[in-house]
Structure 1
Amino acid sequence: MELRSGDAGGSSSAAAAVGGEGLRVFTLRPRRSLARSIGLPIAALAIPVLAAEIWLIDSSEALPVMAATAAVVLSVVFVAWVGYRRANASISRYGIVERGFFGGVSTVAARDVAGVLRVQLYRTNSLDTTQELFVVERTGRGAFRMRGRFWDEPTMNQVAEVLGVDETVGAEPMTLAELREANPRLLYWFERRSLTR
């Protein structure tokens, strides 16, 4: 088994059969640095809530309320951590199996994949861009998406090669509105409508 690690959280590939090359499956994981960048703001938000409870509630009543609040916050953090650790995408020449953050599993057969599209999207209210990868089905619908905030470039580079399909790279960066106008079927349902209209 070959194991690669880094900020991407690691990817591994292994032959599924003994003798011969077998089926090579690449398991891709989101950046592991996300735990720090998301966990620290959550902790920074929880501390003022607990402090406000101490200040607003009489000291004799504060302990049960604080304990309940702390238990809820810790439960949410634990569930989020487990979801984050389990999130991955397994890619082989036969397709993609994605286990999402909320535990849902989706599959895309390689025979349904038309190609891979990579674009640079401008971040909201910024000139900075982030790389986005879309696995596009033959129907034109986005079947699998990798956002640059969650996946690193070396991990994205493996997708088209493993699937054995062509990769198209957008020549110019674009905004979400431009992508929505050009090909809304690539986007999530909540991104297909503009809030400004």
Structure 2
Amino acid sequence: MSAAMETRSGDAGDSSIEAAAPGGEGLRVITLRPSRTLGRSVGLPIAVLTVPVLAAVLWLVDPVEAWPLIAVATVAVLAVIFTAWVGYRRANASISRYGIVERGFFGGVSTVAGRDIAGVLRVQLYRGNSLDTSQELFVVDRTGRGAFRMRGRFWDGPTMDRVAEVLGVDETAGSEPMTLADLRESNPRLLYWFERRSLSR
């Protein structure tokens, strides 16, 4: 007898919710993967842009003498693109009431134990110098540090809605949209290390 499983897919990438124990609700695990459309919209233009660059190099240099260099550069670029694509496809996060297991873009695996999670914070962040906002979800540990982060460009709202429920913690939503500078001032420990310093200072 197999466990009940519901599989969903959409613009937010593939996700699955499964019950580990037959005949009961069991352990619910949500597995999240990055949006496949994001990979196509970002990766394809990057790959296409390499062709005119290599053609320009071939035009500017002597093709007879430089073809080994161009061949090596082409192979290197293709290897980087392939490695990035594989890393992107393998990235995922599994969430249950026991915590979070995240496989990052570069292959590293990080875990956050459920007992260390204090809650979930949802905010609307302005994108750069525009009035457009993006949803951001932060899983906050008991020391106030951001233990896990979900960006709206990778996951959609309904997917984020399930995180606090599955983890079994409270969710707090910001009442007003804020800039990255506002968040840096109020909760710097939620941000990545490179976001904690302003380039304007």
TM beyond 0.5: yes
- 2:141 is matched with which residue: 137, 142, 155? 137
2:177 to 149, 163, 173: 173
The 5 Å alignment of 1:73-112 reads 73-112=77-116
Distance in structure 2 (CA, Å) of the matches to 1:33 and 1:108: 28
- 1:117 is displaced (CA, Å) by 0.4
State the shift of 1:155 in Å: 1.4
Are residues 1:49 and 2:53 paired? yes
Q: Give the Cα–Cα distance (whole angstroms) in 2 for the partners of residues 43 and 81 of structure 1.
A: 11
- State how far apart, in whole Å, the 2-side matches of 1:84 and 1:46 are: 19
Task: Tell me the CA shift for residue 141 of structure 1.
Answer: 0.4
For residues 40 and 125 of structure 1, the distance between their equivalents in structure 2, rounded to whole angstroms, comes to 26
The one-letter amino acid paired with 2:78 is L
SS of equivalent to 2:119:
strand
* Alpha-carbon distance in 2 for matches of 1:109, 1:170: 25
| 1:114 matched to 2:110 | no
Written as runs of structure 1 = structure 2, the 5 A alignment for 1:175-194 is 175-194=179-198
d(CA) in 2 for partners of 1:52, 1:107: 46
Which residue is 2:157 aligned to? 153
Unpaired segments ≥5 residues, structure 2: none
Instruction: Tell me by how many angstroms 1:22 deviates.
Output: 2.7
Q: Distance in 2 between matches of 1:87 and 1:104?
A: 9
CA distance in 2, matches of 1:118, 1:173: 10
Q: Give the CA deviation at 1:19.
A: 5.0
- Report the number of matched residues: 197
CA distance in 1, matches of 2:60, 2:192: 42
Match for 1:107: what amino acid? Answer: T
Residue identity in the other structure for 2:65: E
State how far apart, in whole Å, the 1-side matches of 2:45 and 2:126 are: 24
Q: Normalised by the size of structure 2, how large is the TM-score?
A: 0.93
Q: Deviations along 1:11-66, whole A, 9 cap, x unmatched? A: 11223344543322110111111111211221243122211211111121243222
The residue matched to 2:134 in structure 1 has which SS? Answer: strand
Q: Which residue of 2 aligns with 1:5?
A: 9
Q: Distance in 2 between matches of 1:149 and 1:61?
A: 45
The answer on whether the counterparts of 2:47 and 2:81 sit within 8 Å (CA) in structure 1 is: no
Deviations 1:152-180 (A, max 9, x none): 11211110110011111101000000000
Gaps of 5+ in 1: none
- CA deviations 1:79-114 (Å, max 9, x no partner) are 001100111110001110011111111111111111
> TM-score, normalised to structure 1's length?
0.95
Structure 2 CA distance for aligned equivalents of residues 173 and 115 of structure 1: 20
Kept in 1: contact 2:188–2:196 (CA 8 A): yes
